[in-house]
């Protein structure tokens, strides 16, 4: 079975200048939820820090729009403060309580550690998550952005102490970012832990817009909104060469495929992901949402396009 789709809710809400966000009122969020229902996309990936620049507003709007009452399943992540204060007992407790109050529910499905916290021992974090699980505030424990080594340590602690083990991992994964296939994903498989992939089109890089010079104003690629992680990882010659090769393969099909469709179909149908795993897709507009979902659900790729993608990773991998 292919991986299934999850809607990334990070674009729900507004900042003081409404930067990049579309669904910024309860009424607009209700319209979004109606479209998601129609598309049979009822899992929402949220976080206490969403949207960027106005933490918490995403979950307030999901609560005001009655997402839980409408049948949506919500996953959330612990609020990010600063090293040594992110994954403490106190912050985990206050973060999940604030999330539940905002969403207007008594539990979320998955509660993630959004990022590792180098200043807090994993033993402290594992005990704190276990306490909240036993209090019934979430159903599944998730880790996000943790290294392979820290994931292994976390599981060891849980086994030794009898704490709830992670059953979901969320990571940065796509056709040009496959490092997790080496050690992490095989380890997760052995421990019955699913993988939910974010950035399946590499923040837009796999659409070709950075390589071929589309308007990058107010994107994560340029100027005041640039995100260093994406720029340093993708905006380099080998990556642009990979996009050109993929573009040529997509153009050779009849009708031609878009780069985005190829990227989404690959991660859903041909990657290391499979039954039970998820692919997190986002959108700024309803038509974009519909296009993303249609592309992702269009089935396996033509063989020569799949083969082209499979050959790209060895050319861009910096490990």
Question: Mind listing the pLDDT tens digit for each residue in 210-222?
Answer: 888 765 545 545 5
The number of beta carbons lying within 10 Å of the beta carbon of residue 285 is 11
Residues in the chain predicted with pLDDT less than 50, given as ranges, are 18, 217, 220, 223, 225-226
306 belongs to a structural domain: no
pLDDT for the residue 235: 86
The burial of 143, by beta-carbon neighbours within 10 Å (0-12 exposed, 13-18 middle, 19 or more buried), is given as buried
**Structural domain boundaries enclosing 149:** 4-204+260-299
71 belongs to a structural domain: yes
125 belongs to a structural domain: yes
255 belongs to a structural domain: no
pLDDT for the residue 90: 97
pLDDT for the residue 319: 67
224 belongs to a structural domain: no
pTM over 0.85: yes
The SS3 of residue 172 is strand
Q: pLDDT tens digits, residue range 140-188?
A: 999 999 999 999 999 999 999 999 999 999 999 999 999 999 999 999 9
215 belongs to a structural domain: no
pLDDT for the residue 225: 47
Among 132, 83, 135, which residue's Cα sits nearest to residue 111? 132
CATH number assigned to the domain comprising residue 26: 3.20.20.100
168 and 193 Cβ atoms separated by less than 8 Å: yes
44 belongs to a structural domain: yes
Domain count, the chain: 1
pLDDT for the residue 222: 56
The SS3 of residue 59 is helix
Parallel/antiparallel/unpaired status of strands 194-198 and 108-113: unpaired
237 belongs to a structural domain: no
């Amino acid at each position: 079975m292919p991986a299934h789709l999850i809607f990334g809710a990070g674009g729900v809400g507004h900042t003081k200048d409404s930067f990049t966000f579309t669904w910024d009122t309860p009424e607009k969020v209700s319209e979004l939820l109606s479209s998601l229902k129609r598309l049979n996309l009822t899992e929402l990936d949220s976080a206490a820090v969403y949207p960027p620049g106005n933490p918490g507003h995403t979950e307030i709007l999901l609560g005001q729009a009655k997402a839980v009452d409408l049948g949506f399943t919500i996953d959330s992540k612990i609020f990010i403060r600063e090293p040594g204060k992110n994954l403490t007992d106190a912050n985990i407790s206050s973060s999940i309580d604030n999330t539940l109050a905002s969403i207007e529910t008594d539990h979320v499905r998955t509660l993630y550690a959004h990022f590792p916290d180098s200043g807090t021992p994993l033993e402290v974090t594992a005990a704190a998550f276990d306490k909240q699980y036993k209090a019934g505030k979430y159903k599944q424990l998730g880790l996000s952005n943790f290294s392979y080594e820290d994931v292994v340590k976390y599981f060891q602690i849980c086994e030794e102490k009898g704490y709830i083990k992670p059953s979901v991992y969320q990571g940065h994964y796509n056709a040009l970012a496959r490092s997790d296939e080496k050690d992490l994903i095989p380890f997760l498989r052995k421990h019955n832990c699913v993988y939910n992939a974010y950035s399946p089109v590499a923040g837009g890089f796999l659409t070709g817009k950075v390589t071929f010079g589309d308007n990058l104003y107010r994107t994560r690629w340029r100027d005041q909104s640039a995100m260093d992680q994406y720029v340093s990882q993708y905006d380099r010659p080998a990556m642009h060469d990979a996009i050109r090769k993929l573009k040529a393969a997509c153009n050779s099909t009849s009708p031609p495929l878009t780069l985005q469709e190829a990227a989404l179909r690959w991660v859903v149908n041909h990657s290391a992901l499979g039954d039970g795993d998820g692919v997190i897709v986002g959108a700024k507009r309803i038509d974009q949402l519909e296009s993303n979902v249609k592309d992702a659900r269009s089935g396996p790729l033509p063989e020569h396009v799949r083969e082209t993608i499979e050959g790209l990773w060895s050319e861009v991998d910096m490990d």
